[in-house]
Structure 1
């Protein structure tokens, strides 16, 4: 298991992660990239703890995602199944589990202050923290994608399903985009990855 984890995690995080997986009886499955999530946790009918994490992520996002999902398991075990999935109990558990990893042997120096800030009040997804998401992106495999918040207003872009949009306005936390083919307006997460097209 440690050899497998070494392919996906920073080297110095492997022993800590292996111990968390072992101690919590996690069945970890590393899966192909999914567009809608980085990972998930569920308990099956036999009571096994199943965690999936996307394989295509960089090692730092993989680590954050793995600990995020283990935090669900630990929080549900400690506080019961009635808690909110990303409520206070989960946040407290996620913070506590992440503390041993927030050090320079595991994360690059430029990520440490951003991660420390994020974990003061962790969100349901690290993608909703624009500063951290952008910093993590520099460690992703090379691709031709941009975040919606990075591209100028009036830019035209394509999403994963081939639909084409134009960036038109900022709302409080979302970005308003016009679907070119239909004229309908949609709200995008600022960190949605898109393919910028020539205007």
Structure 2
């Protein structure tokens, strides 16, 4: 296993990850933060397979993301290239790969019930599982972030890309927010990280 990965995952998970990567012979690269994704998987033109993962993830999110991307490779290998990226084949593969890691030696006890619930039907991104995403964020080094659910009603906030919004009412799961410049309505996950302006 690439030694740089050892710095990013829980120590108790390292042997299991080494076994997975030895079998799969994947290239794993740690990248600078990308705002739109935690990681990705792709087949390279030379026929090799590569996973990239953001370096700014805490070790639990990094581990989940790594296994998420390994599951893409495994599903691709086992079911062919014409499956849906996050379809039933990928979900089944992700569940199967994740199961040996769902132990208190690897994840904190407060995360295990949330992970167990999430993996009944894993989504394309763990960020869409609000409870799990918020629980994972408590392990981030930089913990002074503000989330949409914390922003007062009718207050303005800014995204990392500079776009400014005004927070509105909550629908079932997401908040209605109007972009100031365009007047367009957008729906935000409660756990989206933002900068409050007023």
How far does residue 22 in structure 1 lie from its aligned partner after superposition?
1.5
Task: Specify every segment of 5 or more residues in structure 1 that has no aligned partner in the other structure, as ranges.
Answer: none
Question: How much does 1:143 deviate?
Answer: 4.2
In structure 2, list runs of 5 or more residues that go unmatched.
none
- Is 1:35 paired with 2:43? no
Q: Which residue of 2 aligns with 1:60?
A: 60
1:109 aligns to 2:109 (yes or no):
yes
**Partner residue, 2:175:** 175
- 1:173 is displaced (CA, Å) by 4.3
Matches within 5 A, 1:2-41: 3-41=3-41
Q: How big is the shift at 1:176?
A: 1.5
Aligned length: 198
Cα deviation, residue 24, structure 1: 0.6
C-alpha RMSD of matched pairs (Å): 1.5
| Secondary structure at 1:8 match in 2 | coil
Displacement over 4 Å in runs of 4+: none
1:133 aligns with 2:104: no
- Give the SS at the match of 2:7: helix
TM-score w.r.t. the length of structure 1 is 0.94
In the alignment, the residues of structure 1 paired with residue 26 and residue 2 of structure 2 have an alpha-carbon distance, to the nearest angstrom, of 14
Aligned residue runs from structure 1 range 61-76, under 5 A: 61-76=61-76
> C-alpha separation between the residues in 1 aligned to 2:162 and 2:87?
35
1:89 lines up with 2:89 in the alignment: yes
